[in-house]
Chain A
Amino acid sequence: MNVTTHPEIAEFDALSGPAGQTRGRALQAVFWVLLIGFVLVAPFMLYPVFVMQLLCFALFACAFNLLIGFTGLLSFGHAAFFGGAAYITGYALTAWGVPPIPGILLGAVFSAALGYVVGALAIRRQGIYFAMITLALAQIVYFFALQLPFTGGENGLQGIPRGHLLGFIDLNQTLNMYYFVAAVFMVGFLIIYRIIHSPFGQVLQAIRENEPRALSLGYNTDRYKLMAFVLSATLAGVAGSTKSIVFQFASLTDAHWQMSGEVILMTLLGGLGTIFGPVVGAFIVVALQQFLSGIGSWVQVVIGATFIACVLLFRRGVVGELARWLKVDSL
């Protein structure tokens, strides 16, 4: 029972002949150009704050994908890292006057430590229990965010100062802020890309495909899973910290289980285990929320229905379907 099967993902192996690999590399290059081009010019075409929100969520989804897409672990508690780091960074900037970059690093350290604790507990159980445990542990973080004296209770932390980057770049200027967020996103994305393509990443994918076999090959799978969990949590924290600086607030919404659900939807919609999928998925979900914000709580119905449709009809996600259609792997 503890052999997880992802037929959708495994199928790619059969698709990629040598021709498929060449085509895959070419297509990947196209995606890279599109992504970098978009990140550079987007603030001139779209509302910059919207794009910044998009990039923060894209990084969050990519970090999440490292865990579900490449290690096969479904965490239902990633909002704890995203929201927790947002609170820590927000507090450090507001109360201690810490500059933005050390503030984000503090958030990342916090979420790494939290990720270590949550991960170490959750990997004691397999499969579906893993999801339930992460959800329950994230709820502890939520209640802490609600009840601790420094978090501002229901209001959250408001009026977080953006500060100056390296002491002289004023982040209150929208474009400065934008390119800072873009840089954080690109660095995070490259780190994830590196992890996936490293020998370590290959072991993670082996665990996803067949954990007992990876174990029998002599890999300490628990240690690899824990490592992946900590990395994913850390990067999710970076995304949350950056978001708290962009929007100048950290709120309970960031730490709520519904946020954990949203990041799952982004990743699933874009394509589990694809490189660019979570970015596409984050784009769709954030745009959908922005576009539908006029209809109030119907948004939740639409999000839920998208979830259902995705799981029933569309399990490979947008990028996954595209990759399959073009017969390439690793997009």
Chain B
Amino acid sequence: MDPLVRLILAQGMLGLNNGVFYAMLSLGLAIIFGLLNVVNFAHGALYMTGAFVALILYSYFGIWIGMSWLHIGFWPALVLAPIIVGCFGMLMERFMLRWLYGLDPIYSLLLTFGVTLVLQGLFINFFNASGTPYPGQPESLRGVVNLGFMMFPKYRLFVIVFSIVVCLAVWFVIERTRIGAMLRAGTENPDLVKAFGINVPRMITLTFGFGSGLAGLAGVLAAPIYSVSPLMGADLIIIIFAVVVIGGMGSIMGAVATGIALGLIEGVTKVFYAPAANTVIFFLMVVVLLVRPAGLFGRTR
């Protein structure tokens, strides 16, 4: 195989790996925005919290309760962390964001920005700011797979497949089930949905919790790949914002597809001009704004 093609495929796979994280995070952001009209700045911090919950469950929880031999591993964390982060999100919605509905949405953006600073500051105080590796990667997913053009870590392949399955499942729930129908109706006209006897405030809380839980899930998946650091969500959320501006927050599939595509593009850019890799998404955003200001899948709102 031509070395350049091999290199492009290899970087493409790593890009795809980043892309599924973009997809999962922008998906959660889009779900929350759709129903609540809130742009959750804390989404990156919730992702970071998810990774820390996994780390704490493995390395610290046992010590805290006096059983230092106890390590709660990756698979339980994959279930527990999203639930914990989701509950945190629900508390945030119930006790803070709820007071801001009806005001200009910039206030909820600023509120969640404040939450981001608090979460980051807390984790910096209690953990190493430069990052701690997550030791709990499951035994079964160690090692590499031969893809023909490269040796790809088995775990990363798992992350790609698992994330895409999660995204498809979320899409299915929202577009094809009764709960999803209520959610979409609530997005369109909350008053009418209320009139049908559906508890809209509770639905909003649950939706926020679900979106937050998705961020937490992405965090757990990221923990074994990147080192777990208090700032891991900070720069990511800005990329996610650009993804969301490019894709438009109107459609679930749009958010997912845009996230994956941008991850791929970012990866391939590394092959041709590495220094541009961390800005290419922002430049693409500029191009989209010039050509299609409403975003690729968006309707202006």
Chain B residues positioned under 8 Å from A310 (CB to CB): 114
> CB distance A125 to B122 under 8 Å?
no
Contact A307 B125, CB 8 Å, known A6-B104, A301-B118? no
Interface string of A1-45 (1 = CB under 8 A from B): 110111100000000000000000000000000000000000000
> CB distance B278 to A305 under 8 Å?
no
> CB distance A136 to B242 under 8 Å?
yes
B225 in contact (CB, < 8 A): no
Chain A residues positioned under 8 Å from B101 (CB to CB): none
A264 in contact (CB, < 8 A): yes
The residue from A128, A258, A305, A306 contacting B105, defined by CB atoms under 8 A apart:
A128
B265 to chain A, nearest CB (A): 15
The residue from A74, A121, A127, A301 contacting B117, defined by CB atoms under 8 A apart:
A301
Interface string of B109-131 (1 = CB under 8 A from A): 11101111111111011000100
- Complex: how many Å from CA A4 to CA B115? 24
- Complex: how many Å from CA A261 to CA B238? 13
Contact A300 B121, CB 8 Å, known A132-B39, A136-B285, A311-B100? yes
> CB distance B275 to A129 under 8 Å?
no
The residue from A296, A297, A302, A307 contacting B110, defined by CB atoms under 8 A apart:
A307
> CB distance A143 to B121 under 8 Å?
no
> CB distance B282 to A124 under 8 Å?
no
Chain B residues positioned under 8 Å from A160 (CB to CB): none
- Complex: how many Å from CA A57 to CA B64? 44
Q: Which of B224-279 contact A (CB under 8 A)?
A: 234-235, 238, 241-242, 244-245, 275, 278-279
A163 to chain B, nearest CB (A): 33
Q: How many residues of B contact A (CB 8 A)?
A: 45
Chain B residues positioned under 8 Å from A306 (CB to CB): 114
B293 in contact (CB, < 8 A): yes
Chain B residue at minimal CB-CB distance from A139: B238
> CB distance B238 to A300 under 8 Å?
no
Chain A residue at minimal CB-CB distance from B124: A297
B84 in contact (CB, < 8 A): no
A268 in contact (CB, < 8 A): yes
Chain A residues positioned under 8 Å from B117 (CB to CB): 258, 261, 300-301, 303-304, 307
Chain A residue at minimal CB-CB distance from B33: A128
Chain B residues positioned under 8 Å from A315 (CB to CB): 103, 107
- Complex: how many Å from CA A157 to CA B109? 33
> CB distance B109 to A128 under 8 Å?
yes
> CB distance B245 to A311 under 8 Å?
no
Number of residue pairs A-B, CB distance < 8 angstroms: 126
Chain A residues positioned under 8 Å from B106 (CB to CB): 74, 127-128, 131
Chain A residues positioned under 8 Å from B286 (CB to CB): 121, 137
B258 to chain A, nearest CB (A): 14
The residue from A1, A143, A311 contacting B301, defined by CB atoms under 8 A apart:
A1
- Complex: how many Å from CA A80 to CA B286? 16
Interface string of A119-154 (1 = CB under 8 A from B): 001001111110111011101100110010000000
Chain B residues positioned under 8 Å from A326 (CB to CB): none
> CB distance A147 to B293 under 8 Å?
no
- Complex: how many Å from CA A261 to CA B118? 13
Chain B residues positioned under 8 Å from A298 (CB to CB): 121, 125
B5 to chain A, nearest CB (A): 28
A139 to chain B, nearest CB (A): 5
> Can you report 19 residue pairs joining A to B where beta carbons are below 8 Å apart?
A6-B104, A125-B245, A125-B300, A126-B301, A132-B244, A136-B242, A137-B285, A139-B235, A143-B278, A144-B279, A257-B234, A258-B117, A300-B124, A301-B117, A304-B114, A304-B115, A307-B117, A308-B96, A308-B111
Extra inter-chain contacts (12) besides given A136-B241, A139-B279, CB under 8 Å: A124-B293, A126-B301, A136-B242, A140-B279, A261-B113, A296-B125, A298-B125, A304-B115, A305-B118, A307-B113, A307-B114, A312-B100
The chain B residues found within 8 Å of chain A, CB to CB, are 39, 96, 99-100, 103-107, 109-111, 113-122, 124-125, 129, 234-235, 238, 241-242, 244-245, 275, 278-279, 282-283, 285-286, 289-290, 293-294, 300-301
